[in-house]
Structure 1
Amino acid sequence: MSLDILSLAHILRDAARAEALPRFRRLDDGMVQTKSEAIDLVTEADTATEQVIRERVEVALPEALFVGEESVAADPGLLPKLAEADLAVVVDPIDGTANYAAGLPLFATMAALVKGGETVAGIIYDPMGDDWFIAEKGSGAWLRRPDGEAIRLHVAEPLPLEQMVGMASVAYMPADKRPEILANTDKLRLLSNYRCAGHEYRTFVSGHGQFVSYNKLMPWDHLAGALMTQEAGGYVRRMDGSEYQPHHTGGGLLATVDEASWQMLRREVFTF
């Protein structure tokens, strides 16, 4: 493998700055399309940003399977190949597309390296703040800036349930259980949703909250953040308690500051 994590980080930055930022708040109606539903959008910037990343990754790492969100939208048969790939690069060109399309500055460009069925590195780049959250397996999670500054990231300290602050995606909760789960969140201090997993993970692994939770698991949304959670000292499992793996697309996900918090939240709040 000849593509190091910082080189991949700069590929994400270059693509976002070349394709996503110039189009931000400059999209006309013809540049935005609906995919599966009204909250599932794709823009001209998504496809252009992914194309730049793909072209550069294929030059630097030709042996890797490239799994991009928009590539899978065009060819759904690509996603199952991730489970068998020796090496893969998984990319979300613009995470938080609905925010991006609405002109809200809360979106991210993300990538993960998967080797032998295991996530070994992850990157969440913030085009507006121009910095990366980066994790490599066994090396911690770091905030890195283009000038070379690096700050190690740590999850927050545990808190009692009634003082917990967290983020959860409501849209994909099981419809029959959603009222119960939302009622359960009254036990918490605060529940938020940014409509951008990248920024939710960034908030969590930098110590600003006790959990994040999701039900729909597409690899480009969660591989980088799940690895960062572990490398920042947190605990992440699917809702049945099993380890989250790159090929999983369902089963829910709960990331917390420690195992005891995971057990408490699973029992008291996320009861589906």
Structure 2
Amino acid sequence: MRFDENEIEWLADLMAQSAAAEIMPRFRKLEGEGIRHKTSPIDLVTEADVNAELVIARELRARYPGALVVGEEACADNPSILAGLQEAQFAFTIDPVDGTFNFASGLPLFGVMLAVVKNGEAVAGIIHDPVGGDWLIGVKGAGSHMRTAEGAETRLRVAEPAAVSSMSGSISWQYLAEPERSRLARNHARCRSAIGYRCAAHEYRLLAAGHVHFAVYAKLMPWDHLPGTLIHGEAGGYAARFDGSAYRPFHTDGGLLVAPDPESWRILRNELWTEA
């Protein structure tokens, strides 16, 4: 199926409508059983995550019969769904509330993320900020842009390459094993500054708009990274797994380093992982 501007518009509207109906009414109003732990005290799920994903998945299946829908919460209940991404001709990934820890803590740093996958390749990505009411949108081969609630569009462009000492970025070392965890945390001090939003949606926003230079992610789930890497790539950026191989929708390991260009990726890979 070919995705034209009307399809992207429909998907962006669906994300915003679901957020308005299921996410924002619960923001700073959750209590008790409205918040649950998944794998750890910092890995949370809320009523907003579950309900928003159900709404988005239902509408996607109605509009695109036969498409595989890979939602974060559905995969938490049935991990076998993930395997379908490698073979599916047409699929969607959904992160209904990226940054659930922030959302549950009452911090306005969360987003809704969606990617379109055709024949094992991400072809479109959308990140919606329910608080700001805007979207980051990228389509394979057509660039990426930010769209405001009023409809104004701004082309996205990643940061210009710079010396590591002048770079700002994020390293999600909490998901790394030792000794790599301590090595990366220590070497992060070689950079100008660090960010850590606990929200890939907002980190990719900064990356694609050129406000920060790099990000390192150890945990690769498709709903967290397919939209952002597509948008970032269409803004001129470069991303690859730690071993230099291409990142694919079905990858869940191997880490991910996101950088302004291939040369910056190579330099960061050397500087951040060095022993001394």
Q: Which runs of 5+ in 2 are unaligned?
A: none
8 Å CA contact 2:158–2:232 kept in 1: the answer is: yes
1:122-166 deviations in whole A, cap 9, x for unaligned? Answer: 000000000000000001011012332211100011111111101
> Which position in structure 1 is the counterpart of 2:126?
123
> Which position in structure 1 is the counterpart of 2:36?
33
Aligned counterpart for 1:192 among listed residues 183, 191, 195: 195
How far apart, CA to CA, are the structure 1 residues paired with 2:231 and 2:190? 27
Counterpart of 1:47 in structure 2: which amino acid? V
1:71-111 deviations in whole A, cap 9, x for unaligned? Answer: 10111111111111110010000000000000000000000
How far apart, CA to CA, are the structure 2 residues paired with 1:11 and 1:147? 17
Alignment TM-score, normalising by the size of structure 1: 0.97
Counterpart of 2:46 in structure 1: which amino acid? T
> Which position in structure 1 is the counterpart of 2:160?
157
How far apart, CA to CA, are the structure 2 residues paired with 1:64 and 1:270? 40
Aligned counterpart for 1:56 among listed residues 56, 59, 62: 59
How far apart, CA to CA, are the structure 1 residues paired with 2:41 and 2:21? 27
8 Å CA contact 1:156–1:207 kept in 2: the answer is: yes
CA RMSD of aligned residues (A): 1.2
> Which position in structure 1 is the counterpart of 2:111?
108
How far apart, CA to CA, are the structure 2 residues paired with 1:196 and 1:271? 27
Alignment TM-score, normalising by the size of structure 2: 0.96
> Which position in structure 2 is the counterpart of 1:42?
45
How far apart, CA to CA, are the structure 1 residues paired with 2:10 and 2:52? 16
How far apart, CA to CA, are the structure 2 residues paired with 1:148 and 1:194? 27
Q: How many residues align?
A: 272
1:57-206, aligned counterparts within 5 Å?
57-206=60-209
List, as ranges, runs of 4+ consecutive aligned residues in structure 1 with deviation greater than 4 Å. none
Q: Percent identity?
A: 48
1:225-269 deviations in whole A, cap 9, x for unaligned? Answer: 111111000111111001100000010001111111101110010
1:2-47 deviations in whole A, cap 9, x for unaligned? Answer: 7711111111110011000000000011100000111100001100
Aligned counterpart for 1:19 among listed residues 10, 18, 22: 22
Q: Which moved more, 1:223-232 or 1:174-183?
A: 174-183
> Which position in structure 2 is the counterpart of 1:216?
219
Q: Which runs of 5+ in 1 are unaligned?
A: none
Compute the displacement of 1:271 (Å). Answer: 4.8
